Amino acid sequence: MRSFQKHLADFNARGIRVAGISTDAADITRQHCQKRGFTFAFLTDPKAEVVRRYGLLHQGGGPQGTDIARPAEFLIDPTGLIRWVNLTESVTVRARPEQVRKAVDELMLAAP
């Protein structure tokens, strides 16, 4: 997430809005974002409703066996259509900003 924060101006210039989602409670998410300096939207989903809808629940993957969201990155167009997904099995592996920019560029080239 820090790498996306570092490249936030570039994403904004391309019309891409970065958002995070966490199964943590709102106050914990707020503290985390403040501590890390995240200025993009960060949503909370403590009941994992959205996380489940996208198939991202990692049951028992968190501390003391709590449920967490699997790392994933999505490019969603203005109509809500998912155009690109990066889904990993490891909580330590995430897409790099360069991968997302490349996916955006490829999608823009493929657009009619």
The DSSP H or E segment spanning 85 is strand 82-87
Instruction: Tell me the whole-structure pTM to 2 decimals.
Output: 0.77
Domain containing 39 equals 2-110
Rounded Cα distance between 32 and 60, Å, is: 21
Q: Which two tokens stand for residue 40?
A: 């993009």
| pLDDT, tens only, 43-78 | 999 999 999 999 888 888 888 988 888 888 999 888
| pLDDT, tens only, 81-104 | 888 998 877 767 788 888 888 888
Q: Mention every residue, 6+ apart, whose C-beta is less than 8 A from residue 97.
A: 3, 4, 6, 7, 10, 11
3-state secondary structure of 5: helix
In angstroms, what CA-CA distances link 11 with 65, 75, 76? 35, 12, 14
Task: Count up the domains in the chain and report the number.
Answer: 1
We report the CATH number of the domain holding residue 102 as: 3.40.30.10
